[in-house]
Amino acid sequence: MFVDFCASATLPVLDIGAAYGVATIPALATGATVIANDAEMGHLRILKDNAPPQDRRRLILMGGKFPRHVHLAEESLAAVHASNVLHFLTGPQLANAAASIAHWLCVGGKLFIQASTPWQKPFESFVPEFEKRLAEQAEWPGWIEDAHQRFDHPKISQIPNAIHLLDPETLSKTFTTEGLEIERCWLYSRRDLAKGMKLDGRESLGLVAIKRASL
């Protein structure tokens, strides 16, 4: 979806947590100018090496932690993509992230998110607590500070100790608060998700939002 949208982009697009370029490289192939952001500059250097030489002049590397170290002009982006990265952000950082994205997108610009939910096997024991927090309208019901102590799953050491698991209600509210319109927000099971992570088909969250007018 993000990549298809890039084909019509007349402004640069931003890929947050781009890593080695799984989305950036196909986005570049559409002819778009892509700003690849990652907290790890080493990942971005590998991304640049992986990018086809004819696309490299449209690749802008932006190292640093999002949202704090990413600075862009108002209405300067056609699209923003954030896949498997928002779980690294605390609630207040996520709120700042939403404000920044809404500011950077042009009118008609779109946001594409893929995120982890609490409905994954390692977090199964957290689901009742999460659903209680959600029912009580906690601001950030999926925030967990001590995942390594809480959960006993073979994959837990590969997951950050402080992790922000997201659900459609919380994520939609975060972006509508900043004036974006949610086009679609849905739960699904990623085809490439490790078998040991699967729970009940709601392991991943997708969100597509649009900026309809200047804010």
User: Which positions touch ligand SAM (CB under 6 A)?
Assistant: 16-19, 22, 37-40, 43, 65-66, 83-85, 88
Q: Could you tell me if 138 and 169 are in contact, meaning their C-beta atoms sit under 8 angstroms apart? A: no
Choice between 71 and 132, CB closer to ligand SAM: 71
Task: Check if the beta carbon of residue 121 is closer than 8 Å to that of residue 199.
Answer: yes
What single DSSP character describes residue 57?
G
Distance CA 18, CA 31 (A): 17
Quote the least distance from Cβ 214 to ligand SAM, whole Å: 27
**Apex 149 CA angle, 147 and 154, nearest 5:** 75
Structure tokens at 101: 């994205």
Residue nearest to ligand SAM (CB): 17
Which CB, 39 or 106, lies closer to ligand SAM?
39
Q: Smallest gap, in angstroms, from Cβ of residue 16 to ligand SAM?
A: 6
Q: Which is nearer to ligand SAM, 23 or 102 (CB)?
A: 23
- By three-state DSSP, how is residue 38 classified? strand
Residue (38 or 178) nearer to ligand SAM, CB: 38
Shortest distance (Å) from residue 87 CB to ligand SAM: 9
